[in-house]
Amino acid sequence: MAPSIRHTPVPGLLVLDLAVHGDARGWFKENWQRAKMTALGLPDFGPVQHSVAHNGPAGVTRGVHAEPWDKLVSIVHGRAFGAWVDLREGPTFGTVHTEELDEHTAVFVPRGVGNSYQTLVPDTVYSYLVNAHWSADADYTMLNLADETVAIPWPVPLTSAEVSAKDRAHPRLRQVTPQAPSGLPQEAPSARPQGRTVVLGAGGQLARALAAHLPDARLVPQAELDLTDHAAIEAFDFSAVDTVINAAAFTQVDRAETADGRRQAWAANATGLALLAAAAARHDCTLVHYSSDYVFDGTAEQATEGEPLAPLGVYGQSKAAGDLAVSVLPRHYLLRTAWMVGDGDNFVRTMRRLAARGIEPRVVDDQVGRLTFADELARATIHLLASHAAYGTYHVTNGGEPGSWAQIARRVFAHEGRPDTAVHAVSTQEYAESAGAIAPRPARSVLDLTRLRQAGFEPRDQWAALEDYLRTTD
């Protein structure tokens, strides 16, 4: 039988039914097989320590302990009854799941979910695979095994079970302070990631959108951590950080074609990012990084995540180099996006100002793509993290029919009561002849969104989002 995975009422608590191969000699199983198990949906949680515990008599009962790490627990020998209680802040606080464990079963326990186990037969041996080194000083949240609210149905009554005095003294549920999330909100029925989250690039459009969804995250402005300052990256304290969201970048596409701009683009988007990725690897952090449609040459009808990198200009080249640096991290989300619109200066606001002033702009009509509203990108980011989506590269823009910059400008002008004829469509070459030297740009910036949808996120139609943006912003 092939291994399979089952979800439980406790978000992120996953039960694995393992394939056990046996004969007259005994049995064999793959207790942790990264490729197979992550393909099934188990988080690639990066274990760093393996511990084994032996309990002699039947009825030995331990818990309920919510630990500050993720854990894969399984049985090496014997049988046990397991009970898990969600002790994290949120709507599922106090939710219970129970399961009988033997060599055919393993359970992935996200941090903040309380563990408790009771041996059903003598000489039961547990295996624990965890993604943080055990420490006697670790901060645990505890719950009493006999709590009447959660009412765990222990097979061996606690009055006759072997329980330590310490475990008998744990508080009732009403006395437990729920573990606070890291700043990442829960998306039922998915897991709520724990641990501290930092957002780099505070003050930018995307970072502001992320901050609205991550009230407890630490926002790090460029003055505190500049990706062009490589010494600052090396000196930054990433200890105890679980997730780094990098919303910082050099984004001045045309300036990147100048001597100074080229150096700054490569320092921030490539070399600095490589140092950031190395720091994330040393501290076992998940790194979320945002890339661009400019890493492609724009010849594909829709660029998939596997489209060969073929940047046309310096900005795209520096972003492509950053993509390669991030892609080797075991725990990363590389989110490529295009045509960003947020609460700062952007194309839509520029067109709105021109419409209000009665100016008739010349806008290119041979570059085609989809807008990405900053809030949409922030929501997609939170979804991937909170749902423990498979690590790797995702394309993230708004959905709907693609359009050109001129088509978008006409929608903006129409909203402002101006006619289509007020926007004059020109080719990129014609625009460049009048605007002066500009960086090369991909003709098609349409990113394939299939993988994002397969991860459970449905991007909103760009035209509907544009109308809402125009209605709700100045």
Residues with catalytic roles:
65, 128
- Helix or strand run (H / E) with residue 244: strand 241-246
| Pair of tokens at residue 227 | 């990706």
d(CA 221, CA 208): 11
Q: 367 and 360 in contact (C-beta within 8 Å)? A: no
Helices marked H in 163-238 = 165-168, 205-213, 230-235
d(CA 338, CA 181): 30
Listed in sequence order, the residues at least 6 apart from 370 whose beta carbon sits closer than 8 Å to its beta carbon are 338, 339, 397, 398, 399, 400, 402, 403, 445, 446, 447, 462
Q: How many C-beta neighbours within 10 Å does residue 442 have? A: 25
Q: Please say whether the beta carbons of 136 and 98 come within 8 A.
A: no
Distance CA 430, CA 363 (A): 10
CA distance 467 to 408: 11
Strands 403-404, 368-369: pairing kind? antiparallel
- Closest among 191, 157, 225, 165 to 86, alpha carbons compared: 191
Beta bridge partners of 20: 29
Distance CA 421, CA 259 (A): 39
| Of the candidates 170, 72, 75, 154, the residue with the CA atom closest to the CA atom of residue 118 | 154
| SS3 state at 289 | strand
Residues contacting 17, CB < 8 A, separation 6+: 1, 3, 4, 5, 6, 104, 105
First to last CA, the chain: 60
111, amino acid identity? R
CA atoms within 13 A on the CB side of 336: 30
Amino acid type, 51: S
Helix (H, G, I), strand (E, B) or coil at 280: helix
Q: Estimate to the nearest angstrom the gap between the alpha carbon of 137 and the chain centroid.
A: 28
